[in-house]
Amino acid sequence: MEDQAFVTLATNDTYVKGALVLGSSLRRYHTTRKLVVLITPQVSESMKKVLNKLFDEVEQVDVLDSGDSAHLALMERPELGVTLTKLHCWVLTQYSKCVFMDADTMVLSNVDELFEREELSAAPDPGWPDCFNSGVFVFKPSIDTYNRLLQFATEKGSFDGGDQGLLNSFFSRWATTEINKHLPFVYNLSSVSIYSYLPAFKAFGANAKVVHFLGKVKPWNYTYDPKTKCVTSEVHDPTMIHPEFLNMWWDSYTTSVLPLLTEHGVVKDTFTGLKALSDLVYTLAFSCGFCREEAVAEAVAQLSIDPPPQPSISSEERKERWEQGQVDYMGEDSFDNIQKKLDTYLK
Ligand code: UDP
Ligand code: GLC
Ligand code: MN
């Protein structure tokens, strides 16, 4: 068991939150395998400390970005070029077999039986079931495979600009000749499938083993009320037909992850308070909306932030990231920075 591991990836502090929820869910169901997280230099020091508490190994790797804006635009996910960083998982040759899981997944039971499967085992993608979804897959680390994947990426590229397009072209026999490598869908149940095939969810959803919050909007983009243990959404959102998994993610975040973040001074009060403030300030800073000073003051009173140094990005790029829910609460988007911006507006 020592030479097998669950592996995830987080290239920034926002995805670290997902990785922490995934890691704590694997621990909750008593996995006997090691937990490994791949991170890139953009992850802050304080988040690294928290990751070290939960994961057996925190491996820093370089960012691999396809830079393929044309293909990424087809998916309307310009941020997913960095998912090629996932390929580094093949370098973990200290393990004989691994299961990769996206940072936006969470296990609902013990899934150690996945290690009985061979490379490359994965579940069908809900959007194109002749492709596998690369949010959960079984693989065998190997430098040779890693080099061949990189060469393939250089020569042929990826049809979606991310790792999933590349991996499906590379492991192309999965679709038709390797049915034994098809994982049951319950090992990668994506939230979109719940509303796109509700009767199937009603019939089989109780068997779900892994939930995958696939898509642009992630659990950390919602607002959660710890008192009612419910997420809220102001806009029309089909995911809310069955918010159980979202509520479970948030319950896990508030009960298992938030105490770790608080212990390490990453947040000194609730994330909910921080998000409420940030959303409000966003309205003020970018939309020049109605100024609700009392709400700002109240939100400010609830929190304090530990800002680590971050590489600076353009204001436009920052706005884009914010809108995708990738808020750099501890860096560029810290309250101090936003307050400076507000001051210039008010002047
Ligand atoms: N990821 C990351 N940083 C990013 C984007 C993605 O670390 O900026 C990693 C993370 O592990 C994430 C995975 O790549 O779960 C795939 O991206 P995502 O889950 O957002 O894609 P989706 O499953 O929604 O297509
Ligand atoms: C997907 C997968 C994700 C992958 C992305 C880019 O939909 O869920 O894991 O990183 O596409 O290829
Ligand atoms: Mn994902």
CA distances from 155 to 160, 246, 264, 295 (A): 15, 40, 44, 54
Both 65 and 179 in a single domain?
A: yes
Cβ atoms within 10 Å, residue 41: 10
What's the pLDDT tens digit per position in 68-77?
Answer: 888 888 888 8
Q: How many domains does the chain have?
A: 2
* Ligand 1 atom closest to residue 133's alpha carbon, by position in its atom list: 23
Q: How far is the CA of 229 from the centre of ligand 1 (A)?
A: 26
Task: Tell which residue, 218, 273, 276, has the closest CA to residue 250.
Answer: 218
Domain stop point among 180, 203, 226: 203
Top-ranked range on mean pLDDT: pick from 46-50, 279-283, 328-332: 46-50
How many Å apart are CA 12 and CA 40, to the nearest integer?
Answer: 7
User: Residue 208: inside a domain, yes or no?
Assistant: no
User: Residue 258: inside a domain, yes or no?
Assistant: no
Helix (H) or strand (E) segment spanning residue 190: strand 189-190
Both 45 and 169 in a single domain?
A: yes
Q: Give yes or no for residue 124 having a pLDDT over 60.
A: yes
- Predicted confidence band at 164 (pLDDT cuts at 50, 70, 90)? very high
Q: Give yes or no for residue 202 having a pLDDT over 60.
A: yes
User: Residue 214: inside a domain, yes or no?
Assistant: no
What amino acid is encoded at 199 in this protein? P
Q: How far is the CA of 195 from the centre of ligand 1 (A)?
A: 21
- Predicted confidence band at 345 (pLDDT cuts at 50, 70, 90)? low
Both 64 and 167 in a single domain?
A: yes
Q: Give yes or no for residue 92 having a pLDDT over 60.
A: yes
User: Cis link prior to 167 (omega < 30° from 0)?
Assistant: no
Which of 17, 37, 83 gets mutated to test ligand 1 (max ligand atoms within 8 A of its CB)?
A: 83
User: Residue 256: inside a domain, yes or no?
Assistant: no
Q: CA torsion sign, 80 to 136 to 56 to 119?
A: negative
Q: Any bridge partners for residue 37, and if so which?
A: 8, 58
Q: Give yes or no for residue 40 having a pLDDT over 80.
A: yes
Top-ranked range on mean pLDDT: pick from 63-67, 330-334, 339-343: 63-67
What's the pLDDT tens digit per position in 14-26?
Answer: 999 999 999 999 9
Contacts by residues 248-251 (CB-CB < 8 Å, ≥ 24 positions apart): 248/106, 248/108, 248/211, 249/21, 249/106, 249/211, 249/213, 249/219, 250/219, 250/222, 250/224
Both 194 and 339 in a single domain?
A: no
Range of the domain at 296: 271-346
Domain stop point among 182, 203, 224: 203
Domain stop point among 145, 173, 203: 203
pLDDT of residue 70: 84
Residue nearest to atom 6 of ligand 2 (CA): 162
User: Residue 246: inside a domain, yes or no?
Assistant: no
Q: Give yes or no for residue 95 having a pLDDT over 80.
A: yes
Both 141 and 32 in a single domain?
A: yes
Contacts of residue 157, defined as CB under 8 A and 6 or more positions apart, other chains included, come to 66, 68, 71, 166
pLDDT of residue 324: 65
